[in-house]
Structure 1
Amino acid sequence: MEGDLSTIPIADVMELLHDGRRTGRLELKVGELPLTLRFVGGEVVGGGIWDWEGLEAISTFPLYAHEGHFEFVNELQTGAPLMGFKTLMGEWARLNDEWSRFHRLLDSPSRVVESPRPVEPFTVLVGGKSVRAAAKAWGVPLIVAAERAWRGLHEGDLVPLRKYAWFALRIRHPSARRTQAGSLTRLEDRITVALDGTRNVGEIIQSGGLELSAVRRYLITALLSGEIQPPGRGWLLRDLLWELEAESRITSPA
């Protein structure tokens, strides 16, 4: 079973699978963003964006998308339901709405935000920390950390920095050849040879005088093509695409 999300919405596809007690794998794609959901007897037992799994990942996928593609593959799956089907769909819708609201001020959970004053609950953000890192420091779900960051930005208690969590990643491109860097003129080739695993992405951007947006687009393309497959590539792709969307919104003419 496969089709276009412009013809049948995600929620209706899910209902069909649930009512039919289907077992298998549902592959969804909206734009460049993929989502896999695993069903057993019509119940969702798992899923996520590549290696980022669970409801946290699922909830960031656009449930109300008007365009995209779906395909259901019948295959053996095991596991217990994440939660009751109706509860799952309700939570997905609620959290999706929350992410959409936070996205107006916070381009992605990878964004580093800083608190200029040691005031609770933002003490952990003195000096700067990504929202993802803040969630771990606070010991709360990512959506809760995003809500706190959104509130802090909205009320002026936090300041966004031009840094992201993915700046700390050391990514090795299989075609990286540092010795060739001096002779390369194409931006893509310069980034490729720089990704040799010896420096993190932030250091590469700074030392190479590279535009942040250019590196972001490069990473999205390399992730989607499978050229690079770093651990955490699921959350990385989700955040990069969110950031690209925010960037496009800012640069597009009114």
Structure 2
Amino acid sequence: MEGDLKVFPLTEVLELIHAHRRSGVLEVREGVLPLTLRFAAGEVVGASILDWEGLEALFTFPLHPKEGTFRFQPGPPAGERPLMPFANLLGEWARVNDEWDRFRALIDSPSRVLEAIRPKPPLEPFQGGKSVRAAAKTWGVPLLIAMERAYMGLREGDLYPLRRYAWYALRIRHQGRKGKTLEEFGGLQGLLDGTRNLGEVIAQGVPEALVRRYLVQALASGELAPPGRGWLLRDLTWEMEKEGA
């Protein structure tokens, strides 16, 4: 079973698999963003955006994508427990999607680095500048809760966004033959040699938007496969959405 999400909405595809108690793997793609769902007897037992797994990753993917494709490959039931009962899954997915939309009105992605103007509790992690993802790890809380805290900090004037992202710290070194994606971004070829991070590349005059587009294409094609590539691709595509708004 495969098709176009303009014709068969994602919610209908999910409900069909559930109603028929199917087992297998559903591959969904919205633009360059992939989502993999594993089903056992109609229940979702696994979800991932590349190497980012679990409900946290799942709920960042749009439940109602305006366009995209899907493909379901039947298979034997996986010996895993449901991530959440299907009866509750779609409602929670929609609710968290709405929360992400609300928070992203002020913070384009969790990779955005914020600075504390007044580092009062619980905003101390942002002193000196830190991304929302890094703050979530410091606090030991889910990413969505960290986004809510950062959102409130911005609204109340305790935080302000810096003009950089967590991925600025990445160092990319291409060895041997350059990939097709890099060939399309000729100005980057001599700079991605591992001696400088992406923030330094941007500081040398390469437009941030160009570096972002390169990363998205290279991650989506598999030419780049660093640990954390799933959340990185999700954040970059969010930033591109805001950039094009």
Pairwise TM-score range, normalised by the shorter structure:
over 0.9
Write the deviation string for residues 12-33 of structure 1: whole angstroms up to 9, x where unpaired.
Answer: 1111111111111001111221
In the aligned structure 1, how far is the partner of 2:35 from the partner of 2:162? 30
**Counterpart Cα distance in 2 of 1:218 and 1:108:** 18
Task: Tell me the CA shift for residue 168 of structure 1.
Answer: 1.6
- Cross-structure match for 1:134: 135
228, 233, 239: which one aligns with 1:237: 233
Task: Please state how far the C-alpha of 1:173 moved relative to its aligned partner.
Answer: 2.6
1:166-224 Cα shifts (integer Å, max 9, x gaps): 112222334578xxxxxxxx882332332233332222222x32111111111111112
Structure 1 portions without partners, runs of 5+: 178-185, 250-254
SS at match of 1:194: coil
Q: In the alignment, what sits opposite 2:79?
A: 78
Aligned 8 A contact 1:174 1:227 in 2: no
Whether the 8 Å contact between 1:171 and 1:230 is mirrored in structure 2 is no
TM-score (norm 2): 0.92
| d(CA) in 1 for partners of 2:177, 2:164 | 24
How many residues get paired? 240
Structure 2: gaps (5+ residues): none
Cα distance, 1:124 vs structure 2: 1.3
CA distance in 1, matches of 2:140, 2:214: 32
Residue number in structure 1 paired with 2:191: 194
Aligned residue type for 1:69: T
Indicate the residue corresponding to 2:105 in structure 1.
104
Q: Return the TM-score normalized by structure 1.
A: 0.89
Is 1:92 the counterpart of 2:119? The answer is no
Tell me the distance in 2 between the aligned counterparts of 1:148 and 1:71: 37
In structure 2, the residue corresponding to 1:220 is in which secondary structure?
Answer: helix
Alpha-carbon separation, structure 1, partners of 2:22 and 2:154: 44
2:32 alignment counterpart: 32
| Corresponding position of 2:201 | 204
Query: C-alpha displacement at 1:239, in angstroms?
Result: 0.5
More moved, 226-235 vs 53-62: 226-235
**Percent identity of the aligned residues?**
60
> Pairwise mapping of residues 1-254 of structure 1 onto structure 2 (< 5 A)?
1-76=1-76, 77-175=78-176, 188-206=185-203, 208-249=204-245
